[in-house]
Amino acid sequence: MDKGTAVNKRYDFVILFDVKDGNPNGDPDAGNLPRVDAETGHGLVTDVCLKRKVRNYVGLKHNNQAPYSIFIKEKSVLNSAIEQAYLSLGVDLQEDPADPKDGQKRNKPGHGQGAEIEKARAFMCKNFYDIRTFGAVLTTGANAGQVRGPAQLTFARSVDPIVSLEHSITRMAVTTEADAEKQGGDNRTMGRKFTVPYGLYRTHGFISAPFAAQTGFSGDDLNLLWEALEIMFEHDRSAARGLMGTRKLVIFEHNSSMGDAPVQDLFDAISVKRKDPGKPAREYSDYEVTINKDVIPESINLLERV
């Protein structure tokens, strides 16, 4: 496959990553406690959280420059980016459409219509990496349509139930003079911090060749995605997240655009088990990862990274 052309094969993949003495994905509706399945106690990390790390990595590596700009980024104004697409295309959304095929009159000033929308959609896919990878809803504001991205991720779930610890922390400062006066100059602020002693998480991903053709997701984009999934935690360090890292990336490369085997059969071939069930896991080495290659069709290329 030419690295500059759209991906023409289906890919399915499994990512194993771990956290030690950190909070991998706090839940704002639960006081920022680590996300957990209330019935089983297994830890959860949302797909949105993982995509954010990919976006941040790509943005850092390419300085947020086209064709690797990031659409969903911190403090961005999405409608402004869509409007800029029309400006770059030379489409005046305050005037009637230049092409009569798009309508004799603009139905709503400031909004694209007809083939204009498709042109704006193609422009956004070409210039924004996260749009042509994950897709985006561009129907707000000036309207550039909707993009269904070829790459999707599931929630990550810990292999074993996690333990969430709460720690009291002290800051030797206050925010206002009034607070300092109340404490007689002691100037202490108490807080809470939540950590998981250790958790190994597993998430699943999918890449659709037909959707890659629609967004222009290329071989170069695919290689960048693999790179980001491997290294994304290296540039996402914080006191809250402790020690996190990608431990294993297993890729199933199909020989066709529609795929050669059901994804469940492929994922079931990967087994992750604790070596000593009677001992709490505190390291990645406490687990054994095995792949039953006998159940994987010969037409599927198995790739192991990290």
Confidence of residue 291 (pLDDT cuts 50, 70, 90): very high
Location of structure tokens 């206002």? 176
Tens-place pLDDT, residues 158-214: 999 999 999 988 888 888 888 888 888 787 878 889 999 999 999 999 999 999 999
Tens-place pLDDT, residues 147-159: 999 999 999 999 9
Confidence of residue 50 (pLDDT cuts 50, 70, 90): very high
∠ at Cα 30 (155, 189), nearest 5°? 125
User: For residues 73, 77, 80 and 82, what is the CA-based torsion angle, rounded to 10 degrees?
Assistant: 50
Tens-place pLDDT, residues 61-83: 999 999 999 999 999 999 999 99
Quote the pLDDT of residue 184.
82
198 vs 1, more confident: 198
Tens-place pLDDT, residues 251-261: 999 999 999 99
Tens-place pLDDT, residues 97-116: 999 999 999 999 999 999 99
Q: What is the spatial distance between Cα 145 and Cα 135, in angstroms, rounded to a whole number?
A: 11
Examine the pLDDT at 2 and tell me if it is beyond 80. no
β-bridge partners, 248: 16
User: For residues 148, 149, 150 and 156, what is the CA-based torsion angle, rounded to 10 degrees?
Assistant: -110
* Alpha-helix runs per DSSP H in 113-232: 115-127, 129-134, 177-182, 209-215, 219-231
Quote the pLDDT of residue 205.
98
User: What single-letter DSSP state applies at residue 222?
Assistant: H
Quick one: average pLDDT of 225-248?
96
Quote the pLDDT of residue 169.
87
Quote the pLDDT of residue 1.
56
Q: What is the spatial distance between Cα 57 and Cα 46, in angstroms, rounded to a whole number?
A: 17
What is the model's pTM?
Answer: 0.94
Does an H or E element contain 92, and which?
none
Location of structure tokens 């969903």? 72
C-alpha radius of gyration, the chain, whole number:
24
Does an H or E element contain 16, and which?
strand 11-22
Domain ranges of the chain: 11-305
Phi/psi at 135 (5° precision): 85, 175
